[in-house]
Amino acid sequence: MLANRLLQPERTSARGVDRTFRHPKWDAPCSVAAFGCEPREMITQSHGIVATLRVTSTSFSRLSSIWTPHTIALMERTICMRVAYDGTDFHGWQLQLEVRTVQEVLEQALRRVVRHHVDLIGSGRTDTGVHAAGHVSNFITTCQMDTYKLKHAIGSRLPEDISINAVLEVQPRFNARRSAVSKLYRYRIHAAPGRPVERAAQRYVYHYWHPLDVDRMRAAARHFIGEKDFSSMAAAGTQRATMVRTVLRCDVQRHLREIRIDVEGTGFLYKQVRAMVGTLLNVGRGQWEPDYVKDIIESRNRASGGPTAPARGLCLRWVRYPPHLLVPPAHNEFTPPPSSTE
């Protein structure tokens, strides 16, 4: 936390109070000054203005005594962002060396706006080629720009395949990953002999030309619901403390030539949803009986499951959080104590 690093004074000017501070994390000078007896603005700056306070020289000594990690913490804000992106040209969400990722592009834009280092916490790590309509992330900043302006400032610095849908200030204990209650992924299948001709459809749906029985797929999808060991649905070699995950619902619906599979859960293993879709496709085309899915799950063997469906048809639709964490905190105004002359 930035508040745990107190700015230390380095010098005092004979003209009045003129102190320069150096932030140990940003390694940049932050000046605090007040001259004479008339009111002045006290500015703390680190790669840009982060706070402006109205003070007088007579009250500065009192300000110095209360300029503590607690008062610095009053400037800290936890900002939550809901982002949509086309995952076609990204190597997933998580930051990686020498490849383009969503987290890298967002953090670069954020640093240009808030003028300090930013570590984004994401609600999940989407795979290469997977899209998102409602990915959530958060970061801590001392930038005092209101969220409406912050949204437009960040959005204007992003490429065309990323869009900021919402920016809001949330409770300090909010964590995009750990606070999530559930998330929903949608997989779209173009179920027709002819491939989709629309450019947008080609990027966001999987063309499957074999006839599919939606009723059989629905019957099979019921076996995924509940708290189960999904080792047979995880990518080969996946190692976690536990392979148990909870799927809250798995719905299969047809919309004209498109089949949509919605999977909601509290968390997922690597490539789990795409393996579930591949298994349902084998059932839908008549290769397996719907009840065979239960045997696949109980086997805990990835080789017994269906193929991993392509990434382009998968999209993270939304992430759900407890409502009380999304309420802006009631900030205490940092008001300088009144001078003796007032």
CB neighbour list of residue 212: distance below 8 Å, 6 or more residues apart = 189, 191, 259, 281, 284, 285
Nearest to 253 by CA among 212, 293, 305: 212
Locate 100 and state its tokens: 């383009």
Locate 82 and state its tokens: 């809901």
**Which helix or strand (DSSP H or E) is residue 155 part of?**
helix 147-155
Contact 6, 24 (CB under 8 A): no
* Alpha carbon distance 229, 126 (integer Å): 21
Q: How far is CA 286 from the centre of its chain?
A: 39
What is the identity of the amino acid at 2? L
End-to-end Cα separation, the chain, in angstroms: 36
* Alpha carbon distance 70, 76 (integer Å): 10
Q: Is 27 a catalytic residue?
A: no
Nearest to 337 by CA among 44, 58, 21: 58
Nearest to 21 by CA among 36, 4, 6: 6
Catalytic residue among 127, 161, 213, 291: 127
**Which helix or strand (DSSP H or E) is residue 30 part of?**
strand 28-34
* Alpha carbon distance 197, 106 (integer Å): 32
Q: Which residue carries 């508040």 as its tokens?
A: 3
Contact 262, 249 (CB under 8 A): yes
* Alpha carbon distance 315, 122 (integer Å): 15
**Active site (catalytic) residues:** 127
